[in-house]
Amino acid sequence: TLQQLERSLQSLDNKSYNALKSIQGNYQTDLDNTLFIDYVQGDPFAAPSRIRFRIPLSSTDLTFTDMEEYHRLVAAKHFFSKEFTFEKDKKKNPVRGTGKSGMIFIDTPGQEVIERSAVAITEKYIEFRISCGIPANGRKISGKQAANLLCRIIPSIAEATLENYRRSNFQESLEVADNQVFIRKKMSENGLTAFVSNGSVLPRESGHSNRPLPEKEAVPFHSPKVWEYTFTLTNGRKITGMGIKRGVTLIVGGGYHGKSTLLKAIERGVYNHEKGDGREYVLADSSAVKIRAEDDRSIRNVNISPFINELPMQKKTDQFSSADASGSTSQAAGIMEALEMKSRVLLMDEDTSATNFMIRDARMQKLVKKEKEPITPFIDRIRDLYEQHGVSTILVLGGSGDYFDVADYVVMMDEYRPFDKTKEAKELVNSVETIREKENPITFPETLNRHFPKKIIENKLDRKGKIQARGLHQISIGKNSLPLHAVEQLISESQTEAIAMILKKIIKQNENASTEELIDGIYKSIEEEGLESVSPFAGQHPGNLALPRKFEIAAALNRIRD
């Protein structure tokens, strides 16, 4: 029981920190809650201890059937991990000491509502997965303080969370989740790749903050009439916004008129956002992938020949590898890798694209003959992608009217408001002639059909076999680092953490599988056994994990150097 733990901790007072390992185990409270001490840190400065606090659902006013549907469960877990932090911050924590003494942490999500391991909810209980610093004085155990932290403070935060949680916010977050699922269904019925509701606030507070720009500074989104869709939600409420249809959509407009901000919102719309984000009803096809130039990245065995052919020195491009790719080759590889994972929508922004990959105008075609130019620009492939593969593109490009020829829809951003300029753009195609020639290359290959060489991971491991996430944008494999800074739809460190664990699982899978098969295998086990199944500590505090999309897992695999 918790009293026994309290006595043990008091008797450990002033003993060497090692002795704390003896408290690992589970402890019952008077209220029938359970404290699990899964892992005790090695010393006060080391990675914190991992504990769980479990409360039976029967002693709360929660009803499991209200949260049973997957999207509701994800929303409920998201809500309660934030609510725990909210409750924690209300109270003063008197516990002090050396190192991490007294620290209490739960993996609090950002505004994206995605599957996470920080809170578990089952038919029987709700459980918080907490990291904490068990108090020390120098390197000696502070027994009294430790007892206070583990036996009083943490239980009382968890219990207070379930007592005080803001009921109406909770109901609202479940409803928002319902609405998002509903709109996504309507989007696919209507052939939409993206939906941006009227009134959405797209701009962020700053380049370093994901919070919305304050209401009085932001111009709320408003759809042009022609692209307006109105959906009647299950509660009778109507929601209206701009639908972007499948096909090729061009976003044009003057510099600083909000083009990239719109695309960024769509890019993030692969995830659902919580109320208050400003983009809770900005939704995109969940397979949409942001494609960008990323020079210096490594590329392994990708057929980029639809875009790049006949490189100098007769370097082959149907199985292209590079330790140090250029802007254009990296962008081409990004597209082929997205197709390999069955993306249905590509998102591109001029700000992060290689110019020579995007355009090649009439004069340049005359000066540099096709035989001397390995690149077939994207403008000559964008329709093939759609017509041969059903892959839509949403493209921000303010600098070239050549794209009017190939676009199905032209959106112009003007002072942060979108306008339909399709008709005018198409008229210009006829009235302002370009003498640009369409470059007509080989047809697109069906798939990449590559095997993933697991050896490239194994060879990098040291004796301990460590693969570790280091913040949002990096994973270390042994002593090697795998940079993910250009993987723009990776949004949480906990996703990176999960990817690191997934890499470990992948080495154990079938030798001859393709990247897609490997990732599908991982997803299948996540579906059956939960996100925690990727953790070596499944069944206990599994670490701080969030579910990555398969595209971001692939992005990591594809960037591992030989």
Using CB under 6 A as the criterion, which residues of the chain lie in contact with ligand ADP when the complex forms? 202-203, 213, 218-219, 253, 255-261, 413, 416
* Shorter beta-carbon distance to ligand ADP: residue 412 or 502: 412
* Shorter beta-carbon distance to ligand ADP: residue 206 or 235: 206
Distance CA 550, CA 548 (A): 6
CB of 202 to Mg ion, least distance (A): 13
Number of H helices, E strands in the chain: 16, 27
- 468-486: string of b/e by CB count within 10 Å (b at 16+)? ebeebbebebbebebbbeb
CA distance readout (Å), 190 to 194, 227, 331: 10, 12, 30
Residue nearest to Mg ion (CB): 260
* Shorter beta-carbon distance to ligand ADP: residue 339 or 394: 394
Task: Select the binding partner of residue 256 from Mg ion, ligand ADP, none (C-beta < 5 to 8 A, by kind).
Answer: ligand ADP
* Shorter beta-carbon distance to ligand ADP: residue 56 or 214: 214
* Shorter beta-carbon distance to ligand ADP: residue 401 or 530: 401
Task: Select the binding partner of residue 257 from ligand ADP, Mg ion, none (C-beta < 5 to 8 A, by kind).
Answer: ligand ADP
Distance CA 496, CA 512 (A): 25
* Shorter beta-carbon distance to Mg ion: residue 147 or 397: 397
How crowded is the C-beta side of 211, counted as CA atoms within 13 Å? 6
x-or-dash string of contact with Mg ion, 251-280, rule CB under 5 A = ---------x--------------------
CA distance readout (Å), 437 to 67, 306, 379, 408, 448: 57, 17, 11, 20, 29
CA distance readout (Å), 142 to 2, 89, 98, 560: 17, 23, 10, 45
Task: Select the binding partner of residue 427 from Mg ion, ligand ADP, none (C-beta < 5 to 8 A, by kind).
Answer: none
CB of 414 to ligand ADP, least distance (A): 10
CB of 163 to ligand ADP, least distance (A): 40
Task: Select the binding partner of residue 218 from ligand ADP, Mg ion, none (C-beta < 5 to 8 A, by kind).
Answer: ligand ADP
Q: According to the binding rule CB under 5 A, does residue 351 interact with Mg ion?
A: yes
Sign of CA dihedral 150, 99, 161, 58: negative
H helix intervals, 341-466 = 355-358, 362-367, 382-389, 422-431, 455-458
* Shorter beta-carbon distance to ligand ADP: residue 215 or 511: 215
CB of 180 to ligand ADP, least distance (A): 21
Task: Select the binding partner of residue 5 from ligand ADP, Mg ion, none (C-beta < 5 to 8 A, by kind).
Answer: none
H helix intervals, 253-316 = 259-268
Residue 405's CB is within 10 A of a number of other CB atoms, namely 16
**Axis crossing angle, helix 493-507 with helix 515-529, rounded to the nearest 10:** 110
CB of 209 to Mg ion, least distance (A): 18
Task: Select the binding partner of residue 261 from ligand ADP, Mg ion, none (C-beta < 5 to 8 A, by kind).
Answer: ligand ADP
Residue ranges that bind Mg ion, judged by CB under 5 A: 260, 351
